[in-house]
Amino acid sequence: MHYKGDGIKVLNRDASKHVNKLEMFSGSNLWSDYSLGGSLYIVYSYNTHYPMYVYDKSVDVWYENTTWWSKTTAKHKSQARPNVECQELDNDDMKEYVERGSMMAYMEYKAKVA
């Protein structure tokens, strides 16, 4: 895991270009990172408590956080939106997905707690 501020410095309005290329970037309270194993590309607003978008390379799917957080985070979401359709997850599930590191591990976790 990297730290906020790593990656290409960008204006927030240009973030989507870097998201679509899966590039690490840092804007104004908007940034991206790769998971420890590198299979997830994650876009955050402010801090790791709110992963806005997650791309899982192992299943070639984008996920979007559907939980409302703030007006500023909503703006960040529009500035960083990938140019593809996203599957929807709420904030708790997005954080679990990131913590588990893969779709398989996330689904196994969900099955155990169900």
Specify the pairing of strand 40-45 against strand 47-56.
Answer: antiparallel
pLDDT tens digit string along 46-102? 888 999 999 999 999 999 999 988 899 899 999 999 999 999 999 999 999 999 998
Rounded CA-CA distance 89/101 in Å is: 15
Task: Answer yes or no: are the C-beta atoms of 6 and 24 closer than 8 Å.
Answer: yes
Task: Answer yes or no: are the C-beta atoms of 80 and 46 closer than 8 Å.
Answer: no
- Entry pTM: 0.90
**7 band by pLDDT with thresholds 50, 70 and 90:** confident
